[in-house]
Structure 1
Amino acid sequence: MQLIACPWCGPREEVEFSYGGQAHVPYPDDPGALSDEEWAHYVFFRANPKGRFAERWNHSAGCRRWFNAIRDTATYRFERVYRLDDPKPVIP
Protein backbone atom coordinates (compact mmCIF):
# COMPACT_ATOMS: atom_id res chain seq x y z
CA MET A 1 0.00 0.00 0.00
CA GLN A 2 1.37 3.38 -1.00
CA LEU A 3 1.11 6.40 1.29
CA ILE A 4 0.13 9.78 -0.16
CA ALA A 5 0.98 12.85 1.89
CA CYS A 6 -2.15 15.03 2.12
CA PRO A 7 -1.02 18.66 2.67
CA TRP A 8 -3.55 18.98 5.53
CA CYS A 9 -3.81 15.48 7.07
CA GLY A 10 -0.36 14.05 6.48
CA PRO A 11 0.44 10.61 5.05
CA ARG A 12 -2.57 8.38 4.39
CA GLU A 13 -3.18 5.19 2.42
CA GLU A 14 -3.81 5.66 -1.29
CA VAL A 15 -7.33 4.16 -1.09
CA GLU A 16 -8.46 7.39 0.64
CA PHE A 17 -7.72 9.49 -2.47
CA SER A 18 -9.35 10.10 -5.84
CA TYR A 19 -7.57 11.16 -9.01
CA GLY A 20 -8.76 14.45 -10.49
CA GLY A 21 -6.86 14.75 -13.76
CA GLN A 22 -4.17 17.04 -15.06
CA ALA A 23 -3.32 20.05 -12.90
CA HIS A 24 -2.85 23.65 -14.03
CA VAL A 25 -5.22 23.52 -17.01
CA PRO A 26 -6.28 27.15 -17.59
CA TYR A 27 -10.00 27.83 -17.99
CA PRO A 28 -10.82 29.43 -21.36
CA ASP A 29 -10.98 33.24 -21.31
CA ASP A 30 -14.31 33.30 -23.15
CA PRO A 31 -15.91 29.84 -22.95
CA GLY A 32 -19.06 31.03 -24.73
CA ALA A 33 -17.01 31.83 -27.83
CA LEU A 34 -15.62 28.30 -28.16
CA SER A 35 -16.90 25.99 -30.85
CA ASP A 36 -18.10 22.53 -29.84
CA GLU A 37 -14.83 21.07 -31.07
CA GLU A 38 -12.73 23.60 -29.10
CA TRP A 39 -14.82 22.97 -25.98
CA ALA A 40 -14.38 19.20 -26.39
CA HIS A 41 -10.62 19.66 -26.66
CA TYR A 42 -10.62 21.70 -23.44
CA VAL A 43 -12.73 19.16 -21.54
CA PHE A 44 -11.37 15.85 -22.81
CA PHE A 45 -7.87 16.27 -24.25
CA ARG A 46 -5.07 16.09 -21.70
CA ALA A 47 -1.38 15.35 -21.74
CA ASN A 48 -0.38 11.76 -21.02
CA PRO A 49 3.39 11.84 -20.57
CA LYS A 50 5.66 9.12 -19.32
CA GLY A 51 7.54 10.60 -16.38
CA ARG A 52 6.88 13.52 -14.05
CA PHE A 53 3.40 15.01 -14.33
CA ALA A 54 1.38 17.59 -12.37
CA GLU A 55 -1.97 16.15 -11.27
CA ARG A 56 -4.99 17.06 -9.13
CA TRP A 57 -5.96 14.76 -6.28
CA ASN A 58 -8.78 14.76 -3.74
CA HIS A 59 -8.58 13.35 -0.21
CA SER A 60 -12.08 11.93 -0.68
CA ALA A 61 -12.13 9.70 2.42
CA GLY A 62 -10.47 12.27 4.66
CA CYS A 63 -10.59 16.06 4.69
CA ARG A 64 -12.17 16.12 1.19
CA ARG A 65 -9.80 18.86 0.04
CA TRP A 66 -8.17 19.08 -3.36
CA PHE A 67 -4.42 19.37 -3.82
CA ASN A 68 -1.84 19.03 -6.58
CA ALA A 69 0.90 16.46 -6.84
CA ILE A 70 3.92 15.82 -8.99
CA ARG A 71 3.85 12.10 -9.75
CA ASP A 72 6.04 9.97 -11.95
CA THR A 73 3.64 8.12 -14.24
CA ALA A 74 6.20 5.41 -15.00
CA THR A 75 6.86 4.47 -11.37
CA TYR A 76 3.65 5.84 -9.76
CA ARG A 77 5.86 7.52 -7.13
CA PHE A 78 4.62 10.81 -5.69
CA GLU A 79 7.53 13.23 -5.67
CA ARG A 80 5.78 16.26 -4.20
CA VAL A 81 2.34 17.38 -3.04
CA TYR A 82 1.25 21.01 -2.71
CA ARG A 83 -1.89 23.04 -2.11
CA LEU A 84 -3.89 24.50 -4.97
CA ASP A 85 -2.86 28.05 -4.07
CA ASP A 86 0.85 27.19 -4.19
CA PRO A 87 2.70 27.97 -7.45
CA LYS A 88 3.40 25.12 -9.84
CA PRO A 89 6.90 23.79 -9.24
CA VAL A 90 9.33 23.51 -12.12
CA ILE A 91 9.22 20.00 -13.54
CA PRO A 92 12.56 19.02 -15.10
Structure 2
Amino acid sequence: MLLVTCPYCGPRPEIEFHCGGEAHIARPAEPAGLDDQAWSEFLFVRTNRKGVQAERWLHQHGCRRWFNALRDTASDRFLATYEMGAPRPSAGGEELR
Protein backbone atom coordinates (compact mmCIF):
# COMPACT_ATOMS: atom_id res chain seq x y z
CA MET A 1 0.00 0.00 0.00
CA LEU A 2 1.21 3.48 -0.87
CA LEU A 3 1.50 5.89 2.06
CA VAL A 4 0.94 9.59 1.46
CA THR A 5 2.18 12.06 4.08
CA CYS A 6 -0.47 14.66 4.81
CA PRO A 7 1.29 17.81 6.08
CA TYR A 8 -1.44 18.14 8.70
CA CYS A 9 -2.06 14.50 9.78
CA GLY A 10 1.09 12.58 8.88
CA PRO A 11 1.41 9.36 6.84
CA ARG A 12 -1.89 7.78 5.77
CA PRO A 13 -2.94 5.12 3.20
CA GLU A 14 -3.46 6.33 -0.36
CA ILE A 15 -7.16 5.42 -0.33
CA GLU A 16 -7.81 8.42 1.97
CA PHE A 17 -6.69 10.91 -0.69
CA HIS A 18 -7.99 12.39 -3.93
CA CYS A 19 -5.82 14.11 -6.56
CA GLY A 20 -6.99 17.54 -7.64
CA GLY A 21 -4.68 18.02 -10.62
CA GLU A 22 -1.72 20.25 -11.32
CA ALA A 23 -0.78 22.77 -8.62
CA HIS A 24 0.21 26.43 -8.85
CA ILE A 25 -2.04 27.41 -11.76
CA ALA A 26 -2.98 31.07 -11.44
CA ARG A 27 -6.51 32.13 -12.28
CA PRO A 28 -6.64 34.83 -15.01
CA ALA A 29 -6.81 38.36 -13.59
CA GLU A 30 -9.74 39.27 -15.87
CA PRO A 31 -11.52 36.06 -16.93
CA ALA A 32 -14.31 37.98 -18.68
CA GLY A 33 -11.71 39.43 -21.06
CA LEU A 34 -10.54 36.04 -22.33
CA ASP A 35 -11.70 34.66 -25.64
CA ASP A 36 -13.02 31.10 -25.87
CA GLN A 37 -9.64 29.66 -26.87
CA ALA A 38 -7.77 31.27 -23.95
CA TRP A 39 -10.49 30.28 -21.48
CA SER A 40 -10.50 26.66 -22.64
CA GLU A 41 -6.68 26.53 -22.35
CA PHE A 42 -6.90 27.80 -18.76
CA LEU A 43 -9.54 25.21 -17.87
CA PHE A 44 -8.27 22.13 -19.68
CA VAL A 45 -4.63 22.35 -20.77
CA ARG A 46 -2.16 21.02 -18.22
CA THR A 47 1.52 20.08 -18.31
CA ASN A 48 0.92 16.36 -17.62
CA ARG A 49 4.56 15.52 -18.08
CA LYS A 50 6.40 12.34 -17.20
CA GLY A 51 8.55 12.94 -14.13
CA VAL A 52 8.28 15.21 -11.12
CA GLN A 53 5.16 17.37 -11.05
CA ALA A 54 3.51 19.61 -8.44
CA GLU A 55 -0.08 18.50 -7.74
CA ARG A 56 -2.95 19.44 -5.45
CA TRP A 57 -4.26 16.70 -3.15
CA LEU A 58 -7.25 16.45 -0.81
CA HIS A 59 -7.15 14.37 2.37
CA GLN A 60 -10.72 13.37 1.68
CA HIS A 61 -11.17 10.74 4.40
CA GLY A 62 -9.06 12.51 7.01
CA CYS A 63 -8.72 16.20 7.85
CA ARG A 64 -10.49 17.19 4.57
CA ARG A 65 -7.79 19.79 3.84
CA TRP A 66 -6.06 20.50 0.55
CA PHE A 67 -2.27 20.41 0.26
CA ASN A 68 0.35 20.33 -2.48
CA ALA A 69 2.69 17.47 -3.30
CA LEU A 70 5.65 16.83 -5.53
CA ARG A 71 5.10 13.44 -7.16
CA ASP A 72 7.08 11.53 -9.73
CA THR A 73 4.43 10.51 -12.26
CA ALA A 74 6.66 7.76 -13.70
CA SER A 75 7.19 5.92 -10.39
CA ASP A 76 4.15 7.25 -8.46
CA ARG A 77 6.55 8.21 -5.65
CA PHE A 78 5.81 11.25 -3.46
CA LEU A 79 8.94 13.37 -3.00
CA ALA A 80 7.46 16.07 -0.76
CA THR A 81 4.16 17.36 0.58
CA TYR A 82 3.57 20.92 1.71
CA GLU A 83 0.72 23.15 2.87
CA MET A 84 -1.27 25.28 0.43
CA GLY A 85 0.25 28.74 0.19
CA ALA A 86 3.75 27.50 1.03
CA PRO A 87 6.42 27.98 -1.63
CA ARG A 88 7.04 25.06 -3.95
CA PRO A 89 10.18 23.14 -2.95
CA SER A 90 12.82 22.01 -5.41
CA ALA A 91 13.89 18.42 -5.93
CA GLY A 92 17.59 17.76 -6.22
CA GLY A 93 18.35 21.47 -6.60
CA GLU A 94 16.16 21.76 -9.71
CA GLU A 95 13.26 24.23 -9.61
CA LEU A 96 10.14 22.37 -10.70
CA ARG A 97 7.29 23.48 -12.90
Asked if Structure 1 and Structure 2 have the same fold, meaning a TM-score greater than 0.5 normalized by the shorter chain, the answer is yes
Which bracket does the TM-score occupy, shorter chain normalised?
Answer: over 0.9
Matched residue SS, 2:19: strand
- Aligned residue pair count: 92
Q: 1:38 corresponds to which residue?
A: 38
- The residue that corresponds to 1:75 in the other structure is 75
CA–CA separation in structure 2 for the residues paired with 1:2 and 1:37: 38
Deviating 4+ runs (over 4 angstroms) = none
| CA deviations over 1:39-60 (Å, ceiling 9, x no partner) | 1100000001111100000000
1:5 equivalent in structure 2 = 5
Shift of 1:71: 0.3
The amino acid across from 2:14 in the alignment is E
- TM-score by length of structure 1 reads 0.96
In structure 1, C-alpha distance between the alignment counterparts of 2:24 and 2:59, rounded to whole Å: 18
Q: CA deviation at 1:90?
A: 2.6
Unaligned runs of 5+ in 2: none
The residue that corresponds to 1:14 in the other structure is 14
Per the alignment, residue 54 of structure 2 pairs with 54
Q: In the aligned structure 1, how far is the partner of 2:4 from the partner of 2:88?
A: 18
RMSD across aligned positions (CA)? 0.8
Identity, % of aligned pairs? Answer: 51
